[in-house]
Amino acid sequence: MVKITIIANGDFPTHPAPLSAIAEADYIACCDGAANACKAHGIVPDVIVGDADSISPALRQEWADKFVRIEDQDENDLTKTFNFVLQRFRNEQELHFYIVGATGKREDHTIANVALLMDYYDLLENQKLQATIIMMTDHGQFIPHSGKTVIASYKGQQVSIFAHDARNLKSTGLKWPIYDFKKYWQGTLNEALSDHFGIQAEGNYLVFLNY
């Protein structure tokens, strides 16, 4: 079992949850420009992936042995980093991915990174890997799911469900039962009624749990 934390170049985390994901990682992969923030926070990544246009020249030199340069205009640094790490650990029994620092700063990046999370989940599912992937922010966690799931919670926890490509959505244990959302915002602002809730759907959906 390998715990992999990817540090993206949004706001560097301050909440204990994403900070724990960094502290407890077996392997830390850092996106290009996030290397500067890692250095500033005393974190030494195992690898830095990107096109080298954001990391400072001094750090690029100091951590030259860690840098994997990938030029590809069709993919952002987060996707380059995810693909590199997946390739690196693809033969492991069990993989747990945590993505931190993927939100904050430019909102178009935040929206894109959250959308990309569903692509990464698809990729892990299609390769039939025993893997989980969670995006941790300073406010909560984005967790992709599919089919029927029971999710640990607490009474009053704020929950949002983004339907993505899922259909026939149903829930138990949420304040407002979910349904097939026509608009992207309709699954937001829900609330857990107890220490767990259930979701059932055909396809992949994204759960946001506020801390």
Q: Which is nearer to its own copies, 11 or 46 (CB)?
A: 11
Residue 158 tokens, joined: 């704020």
The yes or no reply on residue 119 touching its own copies (CB under 8 A) is yes
The yes or no reply on residue 53 touching its own copies (CB under 8 A) is no
Size of the site for its own copies (CB under 8 A): 32
Of 9, 113, 153, 157, the residue at the interface with its own copies (CB under 8 A) is: 113
The yes or no reply on residue 115 touching its own copies (CB under 8 A) is yes
Shortest reach from residue 160's CB to its own copies, in Å? 4
The string over 37-69, giving b where at least 16 C-beta atoms fall within 10 Å of a residue's C-beta and e elsewhere, is bbbeeebebebbbbbbeebeeebbeebeebbee
DSSP type of residue 74: T
DSSP type of residue 179: -
Tell me what percent of the chain is helix, strand and coil, each rounded to the nearest 5: 25, 35, 40
The yes or no reply on residue 47 touching its own copies (CB under 8 A) is no
Q: How far apart are CA 171 and CA 160, in angstroms?
A: 12
The yes or no reply on residue 128 touching its own copies (CB under 8 A) is no
What does the binding site for its own copies look like in residue numbers (CB under 8 A)?
A: 73, 76, 103-116, 119, 137, 139-140, 142, 158, 160, 162, 176, 183-185, 188-189, 208, 210
